[in-house]
């Protein structure tokens, strides 16, 4: 699976670099577009990015006017991160390229095979969310909203 991620990032990387972003930034834009504003902790969990690295990345994106920081809607102690209109525009500009990349990756697979792949990946994610003898962490890999 690691190879698939690396190859996908290389394939779409040129198109992203032309727009001044990386696959990691694309992932952040996609999560915020999909889920709306969220705390840094929620975004770190959802994106699987270290919080310290994510904070630095978000500062850069804030300077580029792609994200905006505000206060959390119910708990003023937490920062809330959301896309700006420029961030949304960039997301929408890249979305067709990302969809084409996914379509290319799934080329030759039947609808049934794609459905089975989704089920298999969902099962793996569920399994990875369970504590193991080596790691008793209960932190979900897809991230649940905390704030």
Poorest-confidence range of 9-18, 47-56, 112-121? 9-18
Which has the higher per-residue pLDDT, 50 or 9? 50
Distances (CA, A) of 36 to 14, 61, 101: 27, 16, 24
Residue 40 · residue 81 · CB < 8 Å? yes
Report residue 13's pLDDT band, with 50, 70 and 90 as the boundaries.
Answer: confident
Q: Edge-to-edge, what's the strand order for the sheet holding 67-71?
A: 38-39, 79-83, 67-71
**Does 90 fall in a domain?**
yes
Under DSSP, is residue 70 helix (H, G, I), strand (E, B) or coil? strand
Give the range of the structural domain holding residue 81, as residue numbers without chain letter. 2-128
**Does 45 fall in a domain?**
yes
Whole-angstrom Cα distance, residue 117 to residue 141? 18
Residue 15 · residue 94 · CB < 8 Å? yes
Single pTM value for the model = 0.78
Into how many domains does the chain fold? Answer: 1
- Check which CATH number belongs to the domain holding 56 and give it: 1.10.10.10
**Secondary structure letter of residue 86 according to DSSP:** H
Under DSSP, is residue 24 helix (H, G, I), strand (E, B) or coil? helix
pLDDT tens, 83-135? 999 999 999 999 999 999 889 989 999 999 999 999 999 999 888 888 877 76
In this prediction, residue 71 carries a pLDDT of: 81
Report residue 145's pLDDT band, with 50, 70 and 90 as the boundaries.
Answer: very low
**Does 146 fall in a domain?**
no
């Amino acid at each position: 699976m690691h190879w698939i991620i690396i190859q996908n990032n290389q394939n779409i990387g040129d198109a992203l670099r032309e727009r001044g972003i990386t696959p990691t930034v694309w992932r952040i834009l996609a999560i915020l577009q999909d889920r709306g504003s969220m705390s840094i902790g929620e975004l770190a969990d959802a994106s699987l990015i270290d919080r310290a690295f994510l904070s630095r990345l978000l500062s850069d994106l804030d300077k580029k006017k792609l994200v905006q920081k505000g206060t959390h809607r119910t708990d003023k102690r937490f920062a809330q991160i959301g896309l700006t209109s420029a961030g949304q525009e960039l997301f929408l500009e890249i979305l067709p390229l990302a969809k084409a990349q996914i379509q290319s990756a799934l080329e030759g697979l039947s609808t049934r095979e794609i459905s089975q792949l989704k089920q298999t990946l969902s099962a793996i994610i569920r399994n990875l969310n369970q504590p193991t003898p080596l790691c008793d962490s209960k932190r979900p890999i897809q991230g649940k909203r905390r704030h």
